[in-house]
Amino acid sequence: MDPIRIAVVGMGKIARDQHLPAISGNVAFGLAATVSPDDAGITGVPHHASLDALLADGPAVDAVALCTPPQVRYALASQALARGMHVFLEKPPGATLSEVAVLEDQAQKTGASLFAAWHSRFAAGVAPARAWLSDRRVDRVTIVWREDVRVWHPGQAWIWEPGGLGVFDPGINALSIATWILPRPFFLESATLALPGNRAAPIAADILFRDSRGAPITMDLDWRQTGPQSWDIVVDTDAGTLRLANGGAVLTLPSGTDHAEDREYPGLYARFATLIHTGRSEVDTAPLRLVADAFLRGTRLAVEDFDD
């Protein structure tokens, strides 16, 4: 089978750190081009300032990976799908739920594969956690996601703008895991969002979800954490406690702890190749829906200004 000729659009940190290595490590793909208005690309690969320019003058491509901020992703995805190209959407898949629904509809009509990627679902501990939980009774879930935004998102202004998710940008990773591993669907019961006076997006949030059996799922998100950082999910069940630490990488079951190698982005690209080869799309918006619910239903609390 010929490699899928893919273009990476939006050459920011995530593209360079994760997408390019994962693509070069997967024989199903060949990197055909890069696209970015303010970047020179990489040596030996055609580079264009915009998707328009690539489509007008560039090499033929079969697929695009969209690594831009979510606020501009719809227009790029729609343009690519209209050409019958397959589309990989970084998380979150869009700035709104309705635009993702429109893209899904468009992909169905063109027959192209649309993949809403949730990288944390491919963390090493997640698949075994899902398997272990599949026939457990879940009594309580505690999610703690506390990190220092100055370390992890330095100078990323878009993340604070409307359509950026603020502290839900990392928090949605926790939700992508929880919606995947827990055996029952859950919904948002209450939320408090902490909003700095000079920012449009929350810097912290306290959320109570509940699953369809009534089990509470608490989520503590905070971007003001200095010192030790936490990306932990603890699930109390009828068969003991499951703990996923380091964003899903390290799984502890009553029987012991598993440390496995990080394979998030290689896992995503393997999945994208399978979707393309089998003519399918995968668009699960449940994590973004829960975030939208927090914005819709949450109580807003003014907190002190934040400057980075």
Whether 91 is a known active-site residue: answer yes
From the CB of 168, what's the least distance to its own copies, in Å? Answer: 9
From the CB of 41, what's the least distance to its own copies, in Å? Answer: 30
Structure tokens at 301: 């609390």
Give the span between the Cα atoms of 122 and 128, in whole angstroms.
Answer: 11
Angle, to 10 degrees, between the axis of helix 168-181 and the axis of helix 286-297?
Answer: 120
Angle ∠(13,14,16) on CA atoms, nearest 5: 65
- Single residue of 33, 123, 138, 188 touching its own copies by CB under 8 A: 188
For residues 69 and 267, which CB has a smaller minimum distance to its own copies in the complex? 69
Structure tokens at 3: 């490699």
Angle, to 10 degrees, between the axis of helix 286-297 and the axis of helix 97-110?
Answer: 150
From the CB of 98, what's the least distance to its own copies, in Å? Answer: 4
Q: What is the DSSP string of 180-212?
A: HHSSS-EEEEEEEEEEETT-SS-SEEEEEEEET
Closest by CA position to 257, among listed 249, 265, 268, 269? 249
Closest by CA position to 173, among listed 238, 109, 242, 219? 219
- Single residue of 3, 41, 128, 163 touching its own copies by CB under 8 A: 163
- Single residue of 136, 263, 271, 297 touching its own copies by CB under 8 A: 297
Q: Which residues ranging from 231 to 270 are in contact with its own copies (CB under 8 A)? A: none
Structure tokens at 279: 């003519």
Instruction: Please list, in sequence order, all residues whose beta carbon lies within 8 angstroms of the beta carbon of residue 185, skipping any fewer than 6 positions away.
Output: 179, 211, 212, 286
For residues 165 and 244, which CB has a smaller minimum distance to its own copies in the complex? 165
Q: Which residues ranging from 123 to 162 are in contact with its own copies (CB under 8 A)? A: 162
97 is an interface residue for its own copies by CB under 8 A: yes
For its own copies (CB under 8 A), the number of binding residues is 33
196 is an interface residue for its own copies by CB under 8 A: no
- Single residue of 42, 131, 157, 296 touching its own copies by CB under 8 A: 296
- Single residue of 155, 185, 227, 228 touching its own copies by CB under 8 A: 185
For residues 127 and 286, which CB has a smaller minimum distance to its own copies in the complex? 286
Tell me which of 19, 48, 91, 119 is the catalytic residue.
Answer: 91
290 is an interface residue for its own copies by CB under 8 A: yes
For residues 262 and 293, which CB has a smaller minimum distance to its own copies in the complex? 293
Angle ∠(60,64,68) on CA atoms, nearest 5: 135
Instruction: Point out the residues that are catalytic.
Output: 91
Q: Which residues form the interface with its own copies (CB under 8 A)? A: 74, 78, 95-99, 101-102, 105-106, 162-163, 185-188, 191, 200, 209, 212, 286, 289-293, 295-300
